[in-house]
Chains A and B, each alone.
Chain A
Amino acid sequence: MFEYLDKSTIQDVFPAGHHAIQIIRKQWDFALHNRNEGMKSGLSSPQAELVDRIIQEIETTEEKKIEDLPPETIDKYINTLVERIEQLSRQELNVNQSVGKNLLNQLRASDIGSVKR
């Protein structure tokens, strides 16, 4: 599912993925209910096309509108979508998990991490 995202760039997938997640979580009510004018606002043309494909793929698979999907189904698609986004992040941003763990440990131990001012 969402395989076409692998062939795109982070410049398009990250904004489109985030945008689509807000819509399918029903956080952006207007965009969901006013698809033509609301769904693609603020996105470039390739990004808007990706949002359309994501929403259409979910609705075609489920044979239901996003508005009619139960929360557990929505959660499943969000997780699948974010897995794709993370996969692209690993490829294009040279993710190194051991570097990430070290940096994370530093942040956890720092004043920043304790949320002190």
Chain B
Amino acid sequence: MRDKPKSLILLYSASTWLAYVIAERYYGGYHYVWCTPHFDPSSVPSINYTVPPSSSPAEIYRNLQEDVRRSDRHSAKIAANKAGILRGVEFKLAAGEITSEQASEIASIVDAAEPQDFKPLIFVVPFMLVEKLLQPVPVNQRAHPLSDEFIIDRLPREKFDVIDFDGR
């Protein structure tokens, strides 16, 4: 495991439309991002790929896209994303970064959201722009003890691109 590798070009992260717009509207355009240099297991020799396929941005995207396409109201992946957004609300509220009124608005948005609002997005993050913002994921929270996974807890919008495959 490399704590802060020196030779990377891009980092990738899978998110959802709803998480993205909430960060843009309520968190000043700063995004909480969990990222990896490996987009897809198929693009890396298996001996070098330590992120389990189910945790790769490509696979997270594909699985979520399928649930959204089917408008699956019982999707555990969508449910887990809701829990992640609400966990973020609690964190921002406790940190004094949002007001209780804003927390209520975000929770109301999550409550009213439809499956299509959880459409997956891919964030593409140039390593050079974020090198100083990267924090290695604590080993207890990695998909694999040796995997290359990083957290950027305040990633400004101007430092990454968003790929929206079906261009909503």
Residues of A within 8 A of B (CB): 10-11, 14-15, 17-18, 21-22, 25-31, 34, 37-39, 41-42, 74-76, 78-79, 81-82, 85-86, 89-90, 93-97, 99-101, 103-104, 107-108, 110, 112-115, 117
Residue B141, interface by CB 8 Å: yes
Do B112 and A112 touch across chains, with their CB atoms under 8 A apart?
A: no
Residue B52, interface by CB 8 Å: yes
| Chain A contacts for B48, CB-based, 8 A | none
Residue B155, interface by CB 8 Å: no
| Chain B contacts for A10, CB-based, 8 A | 86, 90
Do B112 and A104 touch across chains, with their CB atoms under 8 A apart?
A: yes
Do A96 and B108 touch across chains, with their CB atoms under 8 A apart?
A: yes
Residue B25, interface by CB 8 Å: yes
Q: How far is the CB of B89 from chain A (nearest CB, A)?
A: 7
The size bracket of the interface on B is 35 or more
Would you call the interface of chain B mostly helix, strand, loop, or mixed?
helix
Would you call the interface of chain A mostly helix, strand, loop, or mixed?
helix
Q: Could you list some 30 contacts between A and B, CB below 8 A?
A: A11-B90, A14-B86, A15-B90, A17-B83, A25-B76, A26-B54, A27-B55, A28-B142, A29-B145, A30-B139, A30-B142, A41-B140, A41-B141, A42-B138, A42-B141, A76-B76, A78-B80, A79-B76, A85-B86, A89-B107, A96-B104, A96-B108, A99-B108, A100-B109, A100-B110, A103-B109, A112-B24, A115-B17, A115-B168, A117-B158
Do B107 and A30 touch across chains, with their CB atoms under 8 A apart?
A: no
Q: How far is the CB of B161 from chain A (nearest CB, A)?
A: 8
Partner of A107, one of B86, B89, B90, B109: B109
| Chain A contacts for B89, CB-based, 8 A | 14, 93
Bound together, the chains give a CA A23 to CA B158 distance in angstroms of 32
Q: Which 5 A-B pairs have the closest CB atoms?
A: A100-B112, A100-B108, A75-B76, A38-B140, A18-B87
Residues of B within 8 A of A (CB): 17, 20-21, 24-25, 52, 54-55, 74, 76, 79-80, 82-84, 86-87, 89-91, 94, 100, 103-105, 107-113, 117, 121, 138-145, 157-158, 162, 164, 168
Bound together, the chains give a CA A85 to CA B80 distance in angstroms of 11
Q: How far is the CB of A34 from chain B (nearest CB, A)?
A: 7
Q: How far is the CB of A21 from chain B (nearest CB, A)?
A: 5
Bound together, the chains give a CA A49 to CA B85 distance in angstroms of 22
In the complex, residue of chain A having the shortest beta-carbon distance to the beta carbon of B137: A28
| Chain B contacts for A79, CB-based, 8 A | 74, 76, 79
